[in-house]
Chain A
Amino acid sequence: AQSVTQLGSHVSVSEGALVLLRCNYSSSVPPYLFWYVQYPNQGLQLLLKYTTGATLVKGINGFEAEFKKSETSFHLTKPSAHMSDAAEYFCAVSAAAGSARQLTFGSGTQLTVLP
């Protein structure tokens, strides 16, 4: 079984400030981890993913996330927020193997960027 906890349903940062969105997961098998972004009235877009290998993963739009197995975390960061980053962000986990490999999503974090 898998689960994802996103701490903070709403996060506000000033333009140019560090963005940190927190995600902790629970998985009984080696996980694949994902961050998706959803802009208003749009579907989900993959920001980045961790499967195997390097634990620091770089994604699109300057975002990155680090897989920390000991902390069961996969926090999303961006050094400098831009107004266009305002959106909802979802962390997700799936099993690394097996035919099912269903995505389990966190509850989402709404990011607001203040001018």
Chain B
Amino acid sequence: DIVMTQTPSSQAVSAGEKVTMSCKSSQSLLYSENKKNYLAWYQQKPGQSPKLLISWASTRESGVPDRFIGSGSGTDFTLTISSVQAEDLAVYYCEQYYDTPLTFGSGTKLEIK
């Protein structure tokens, strides 16, 4: 199974600050035939179901603010929020879909100071 490791487990920032969170996979998520990374990011706000933010490591979903930026390749990935807003309070999960079983990281909880 591909193990996904997210760090930090929680982070507190002030509104307007930039925040980065990491997701590392135990094996490469880069598929050589299409040069795509099989990595997604989700946001789960309190009391809600998760929402897809980014697929293919860096492709933002329609309607997702451009302050959310996904980057990385292979085994190391990053989600950056360029200027955190109060509504970004949530847990952020990465997911690999390179192979079954599909696996998630344990999440990064973002708190707003």
- Asked if A and B bind, the verdict is no
Which residues of A are in contact with B by a Cβ distance under 8 Å?
none
Give chain B's interface residues, CB within 8 Å of chain A: none
